[in-house]
Amino acid sequence: MTHRSWMRSQGFTTEVFDGRPVIGIATTWSELAPCNVHLHRVAESVKRGVWQAGGFPLEFPTMALGETLLRPTAMLYRNLLAMEAEELFRANPLDGVVLLSGCDKTTPGLLMAAASVDLPAIMVTGGPKLNGKYQGTDVGSGTAVWRWEEDLVAGRMTQEECFFAEGCMSRSDGHCMTMGTASTMASAAEALGMQLPYSAAWPAVDSRRYETAQRAGQVIVDLVNSDLTPSKIMTREAFENAIRVNAAIGGSTNAAIHLLAIAGRLGVPLSLDDFDALAADVPTLVNLQPSGQYLMEDFCYAGGLPAVMRELGGLLHGDAITVTGRTVAENVAEAPCWNRDVIHAMDAPLQPAGTGTAVLRGNLAPHGAVIKQSAASPHLLKHRGPALVFDSPEAYHAVVADPDLDADENTVLIIRYCGPKGYPGMPEVANVPLPKKLLNRGVRDMVRICDGRMSGTAYGTVVLHVSPEAAAGGALALVRTGDWITLDVPSRALTLEVPDDELARRRAEWTAPPPAAARGWTRLYTDHVLQADTGADLDFLIGASGHEVGRDSH
Ligand code: FES
């Protein structure tokens, strides 16, 4: 009676308590997360579907992580969202959950939670914005910002023009419409089998986004009835599919961190090296910014992810089961491609196999580092140059316009103390703009090395996720300005040309920075966060506890 009576204050009739599945709709809606601001309306469509299928839908809020406003970085809170959602899924009397996400961290955060609870779950991402339109050309969120920022610094664009352009770029609901991290993770969720086919690409304002949401509401009731849980869908084979799809779409380097973290919750063995090895024979098929030309709206009209997955054919595990109750191969068997300039065929790819995310190793990154080759300049993929070292992005920004900065196009910029513990939260700061004096000379790229991340919408020859990070005592902390560094992407090598005995001497002099915070979440985070090469989850959140309250199934 207590349960029913209090719920009836919302005006429900007694039939909803007849034993039908109770479906939680976890929404990351917030006006502080503009990419997710329409999820309230998406939830209404999900509810329709749940009612239609005989379930009882209940919407509830989880942390909304907006990439653009949160300080110091939304990544600091991905694990907090995952932890909060996990506890809500388990503590409430739910039979299944629909995960409403959009902006970068909300998709992996909710998938991590669903993985650890292992209730039947389906994801509905909010969809990308419509293409930005500025002065007769398409402009991509994020990607255009980096370009305009450089143009503003170099005097090619006025501040007034920037104000006007930014409105043209963000003209509808939805997440970034480049193949940035949000589009990448929406695609990963679809490739993993956790959201319905075509879900990743419907624009946020497209009626089919809402139709798909309604369908997801129906499907979650089926998933509950058939007990098809995330651990049965997100298998090693599903992750291999997601990694290969990520290579084919030119997806964000952030996919490596997030997929490793999700796999860690499920106990699926997955390593950073899998991202290089599995992508080795996958060409880039999708011609989207930042690696290519088009935007997510074009991708949708060209056939979306099913067209890509059909094209990949035997490179995917076609028998992997998905939330539809059907296999990947069944889902995409008839998927058409309507535009071969947007989604290339395997025999005429945008970029050849092996040009996706590469995993580098060497004395500068013994546990690995990554580089997105398709966003890099080919002439810099083999490069040797002297280091110019900065202990924070702010220290670099303070001198970026200095005409006397001792840097040229051969310089290797080191931006460090930006890893999970260091900043903290591993912000997207690695693609720092080039020194103004080099921009003015027409230099458009140079090698940058960082233990932080790069926005999925960004481009440049940037070595990321260096592990271990400087704040954890990684070799990056020992680099000094003037040291020579060799980047050899074809050989997957990143080498600091300093003898071991000298590095040992420098290590003896090195002292770890103090914790970033004395208390609170940030202290908990920095005390327990793992390194990027394993997904930057908290050490005590690895694994699953199932959905029984007070029990630990692992
Ligand atoms: Fe939200 Fe890019 S800022 S997806």
Query: How many CB atoms sit inside 10 A of residue 301's CB?
Result: 14
Residue 362: CB atoms within 10 Å: 19
Q: Which atom of ligand 1 is nearest to the CA of 68?
A: 3
pLDDT, residue 512, reads 93
Determine the Cα–Cα distance for residues 488 and 495; give it in Å rounded to an integer.
8
Report how far residue 181's alpha carbon sits from residue 546's, in angstroms, rounded to the nearest whole number: 28
Residue type, 418: C
Query: How would you label 226-240 residue by residue, b for 16+ Cβ within 10 Å and e otherwise?
Result: eebbbbebbbebbbb
Could you give the CA distance from residue 206 to residue 198 in angstroms, rounded to a whole number?
12
User: What is the rounded distance in angstroms from the CA atom of residue 427 to the CA atom of residue 40?
Assistant: 28
CA–CA dist 409, 472 (Å, integer): 30
Mapped onto helix, strand or coil, the DSSP state of residue 218 is: helix
pLDDT at 548: 86
Return the pLDDT at 78.
98
What is the C-alpha to C-alpha distance for residues 108 and 184, in angstroms, rounded to an integer? Answer: 11
Separation of CA 107 and ligand 1 centre (Å): 11
Ligand 1 atom closest to the Cα of residue 35 is 1
Query: Which among 106, 175, 258, 453 is the best mutation to test ligand 1's pocket, defined by most ligand atoms within 8 Å of the CB?
Result: 175
Kindly give the number of the ligand 1 atom that is closest to the alpha carbon of 175: 4
Q: Tell me what pLDDT residue 355 has.
A: 85
Looking from the CA of 551 toward its CB, the CA atoms found within 13 Å total 7
**Residue 36 alpha carbon, nearest atom of ligand 1:** 1
Strands 56-61 and 22-27: parallel
Taking the CA of residue 182 as reference, the ligand 1 atom at the shortest distance is 4
Atom 2 of ligand 1: nearest residue by CA position: 176
| CA pair distance 465, 380, nearest whole angstrom | 18
The pLDDT assigned to 153 comes to 82
Q: How many whole angstroms from 199 Cα to the centroid of ligand 1?
A: 17
Q: Identify residue 239 by its one-letter amino acid code.
A: F
Most distant pair of Cα atoms in the chain: their distance: 76
Distance between CA atoms of residues 9 and 353, nearest Å:
59
Q: Rounded to the nearest whole angstrom, what is the distance from the C-alpha of residue 87 to the centroid of ligand 1?
A: 26
Closest atom of ligand 1 relative to the 66 alpha carbon:
1
Q: How far apart are CA 539 and CA 197, in angstroms?
A: 33
Query: Is 412 in contact with 383 (CB distance < 8 Å)?
Result: yes
The alpha carbon of 103 and the centre of ligand 1 are apart by a number of angstroms equal to 5
Spell out the residues 6+ positions from residue 194 whose beta carbon is closer than 8 angstroms to its own: 111, 114, 121, 122, 123, 230, 233, 234, 322, 323
Phi/psi at 286 (nearest 5 deg)?
Answer: -100, 125
For ligand 1, atom 1, name the residue with the nearest CA.
103
Q: Residue 498 Cα, ligand 1 centroid: separation in angstroms?
A: 40
pLDDT confidence of residue 435: 94
Q: Probe ligand 1: pick from 32, 73, 141, max atoms within 8 Å of CB?
A: 141
Q: Give the nearest ligand 1 atom to 34 CA.
A: 1
The span from the first CA to the last CA of the chain, in angstroms, equals 34
Measured in Å, residue 521 CA sits from the centre of ligand 1 at 23
Given the DSSP bridges, would you call strands 96-101 and 357-362 parallel, antiparallel or unpaired? unpaired
Would you write out the chain's pLDDT as a tens digit for each of its 554 residues? 888 999 999 999 999 999 999 999 999 999 999 999 999 999 999 999 999 999 999 999 999 999 999 999 999 999 999 999 999 999 999 999 999 999 999 999 999 999 999 999 999 999 999 999 999 999 998 778 878 888 888 889 999 999 999 999 999 999 999 999 999 999 999 999 999 999 999 999 999 999 999 999 999 999 999 999 999 999 999 999 999 999 999 999 999 999 999 999 999 999 999 999 999 999 999 999 888 899 999 999 999 999 999 999 999 999 999 999 999 999 999 999 999 999 999 999 999 998 888 999 999 999 999 998 888 999 999 999 999 999 999 999 999 999 999 999 999 999 999 999 999 999 989 889 899 999 989 999 999 999 999 887 778 999 999 999 999 999 999 999 999 999 999 999 999 999 999 999 999 999 999 989 999 999 999 999 999 999 999 999 999 999 988 655 44
Given the CA of residue 455, which atom of ligand 1 is nearest to it? 2
Mutation probe of ligand 1 site: the residue of 70, 103, 457 with most atoms within 8 A of C-beta? 103
* pLDDT of 542: 94
Ligand 1 atom nearest the C-alpha of 142 is: 2
The preferred substitution site among 176, 183, 258 for testing ligand 1, maximizing ligand atoms within 8 Å of CB, is 176
Amino acid 396 reads Y
Torsion 187-315-459-462 (CA) sign: positive
**Residue 155 CB coordination number (10 Å):** 10
Rounded CA-CA distance 201/288 in Å is 12
Cα 176 to ligand 1 centroid, rounded to whole Å: 5
Q: Cα(128) to centroid of ligand 1, in Å?
A: 9
CA distances to 287, 299, 303, 335, 422 from 338, rounded to whole Å, are: 14, 10, 6, 10, 46
Quote the tokens at residue 222.
């089926």
Residues enclosing ligand 1, CB less than 6 A? 35, 67-68, 103-104, 141-142, 175-176, 180, 182
**Amino acid at the residue 497:** E
Q: Which atom of ligand 1 is nearest to the CA of 33?
A: 1
Task: Name the residue among 289, 290, 326 with its Cα closest to residue 309.
Answer: 326
CA of 105 to the centre of ligand 1 (A): 9
pLDDT in the model for residue 30: 97
Residue 236 DSSP symbol: H
Q: Which residue, 153, 27, 32, is CA-closest to 100?
A: 27
CA of 79 to the centre of ligand 1 (A): 18
Q: 422: closest CA among 529, 540, 518? A: 529
State pLDDT tens for residues 345-397.
999 999 999 888 899 999 999 999 999 888 899 999 999 999 999 999 999 99
| 430 secondary structure, DSSP code | S
Q: How far is the CA of 74 from the centre of ligand 1 (A)?
A: 10
496 Cα to the center of ligand 1, angstroms: 35
Residue 142: the pLDDT is 79
Omega of the bond leading into 197 within 30 degrees of 0 (cis): no
Q: What is the pLDDT of residue 290?
A: 84
- Distance from C-alpha of 145 to C-alpha of 154, rounded to nearest angstrom: 14
What is the whole-number distance in angstroms between the Cα of residue 102 and the centre of ligand 1?
8
Tokens 């070595």, located at residue:
463
pLDDT of residue 554: 42
Q: How far apart are CA 25 and CA 2, in angstroms?
A: 22
Taking each helix axis as running N to C, give the angle between helix 39-52 and helix 207-226, from 0 to 180 degrees, rounded to the nearest 10.
50
Residue nearest to atom 3 of ligand 1 (CA): 67
